[in-house]
Copies of this chain bind each other. A is one copy, B any other.
Amino acid sequence: MTAAAEFGAAQEVDRKAGLEPLTAYTQDDLARVNRLIVEYMQSPVALIPQLAGHIVAAGGKRLRPMLTLASARLCGYKGERHIGLAACVEFIHTATLLHDDVVDDSKLRRGLDTANALFGNKASVLVGDFLFSRSFQLMVADGSLAVLRVLSNASATIAEGEVLQLMTSNNTATTEAEYLEVVSGKTAALFAAACEVGALVADRSEDECKALSEFGMSLGIAFQLIDDLLDYTADETVLGKAIGDDFREGKITLPIVLAFERGDDVERAFWRRCLEDMEQDDGDLRRAVELMKAHRALEDTRARAEEHGRRALERLEGFPDGPAKSALSDTLVFNLGRDA
């Protein structure tokens, strides 16, 4: 394992810690979800389980399936359907990751070589398609058109968000509203669907389904904003952490949008050189962080995340107190506070 890989693995452990309340609460169900994932990624075509196994075994946070599991329990669900549907949500996510890494030409994910780095872009595109198809086979096996509607809509929205992200990439003129649109699509739509599915299997009212969908949407936005923030601030903590990946890739995230909007002409020229022309020198990342601080771009990104977090918590209010609600809200609160 390379040094970068070890580093990434350490970072990953760290992020998982933030999900501790949810992981502890869902662990028995999650073990069943993991077994189902392994079962459904099988195929007589050997390369498929090899490649899928690589990304699945790399052990993501399983945050999205955990949201389905905990949401179902929050709604008092006693059955088995949430297991298959949680696996289905994770397959959609995994398919998206495989395609993302091809699109971003990424070499490392969660501290390990990406599937495209190991198996090539071609195989990653096609196995992504396979896993996406598998997710629909799982939904069909579940048999609920309402669930199929929510997840097929989410899939279309995710793809729209990804295309929109492609269009904003390296574009410093991206507005906060446009950026929020990207995040809502590429990240939060699946969080929303994952939570709504929990309410659907429990056969809850339209209002309750909507409340959990909105909970997931706000949660997803808050999570993404904190991720974006940490990409610039994580070095300030006791934990060493590779920062600046987004900057080096010319990814336009909220800290940049805010700093650019609030900057003068000289500063904007700096942002354009670094993120549009992609000409970056030593010290540019440091200057970027200084400008973000000077314009309160980092504080305001956290404030926005907290605002979405508050909205998320509000949407849980109508649900009964108990371990499911605690697991969901503790995870949210913990993650809003995390600084690494």
Give A residues with C-beta under 8 Å from B.
43-48, 95-96, 99, 102-103, 121-123, 125-127, 129-130, 132-134, 136-137, 139-140, 143, 145, 148-149, 152-153, 155-156, 158-160, 162-164, 166-167
Question: Which residues of chain B are near A102, meaning CB under 8 Å?
Answer: 121-122, 125
Q: A103-B122, A132-B132, A159-B127 are in contact. Are A152 and B164 (CB under 8 A)?
A: no
User: For residue A159, which residues in chain B have a CB less than 8 angstroms away from its CB?
Assistant: 126-127, 129-130, 133
- Contact residue among B103, B152, B164, B166 (Cβ-Cβ distance under 8 Å from A133): B152
In contact, A125 and B99 (Cβ under 8 angstroms): yes
With A132-B132, A152-B137: A126-B162 Cβ-Cβ less than 8 Å: yes
Known: A136-B136, A167-B45. A160 touches B125 (CB 8 A): no
Ordered by A's residue number, 10 sampled pairs between the chains whose C-beta atoms are within 8 Å are A43-B160, A44-B160, A45-B160, A45-B164, A103-B122, A122-B166, A125-B125, A127-B159, A130-B159, A136-B152
Assembly stoichiometry (copies): 2
A145 to chain B, nearest CB (A): 6
CB pair B132 A140 closer than 8 Å: no
CB nearest neighbor in B for A136: B152
Nearest first, the 7 closest Cβ-Cβ pairs linking A and B are: A130-B159, A133-B155, A133-B156, A136-B152, A129-B159, A103-B122, A126-B162
20 further A-B pairs in the complex, CB-CB below 8 A; given A43-B163, A45-B167, A129-B132: A44-B160, A45-B163, A46-B167, A47-B166, A99-B126, A99-B129, A103-B121, A103-B125, A125-B125, A126-B166, A129-B162, A130-B156, A132-B132, A132-B155, A133-B156, A136-B148, A140-B148, A140-B149, A145-B145, A148-B148
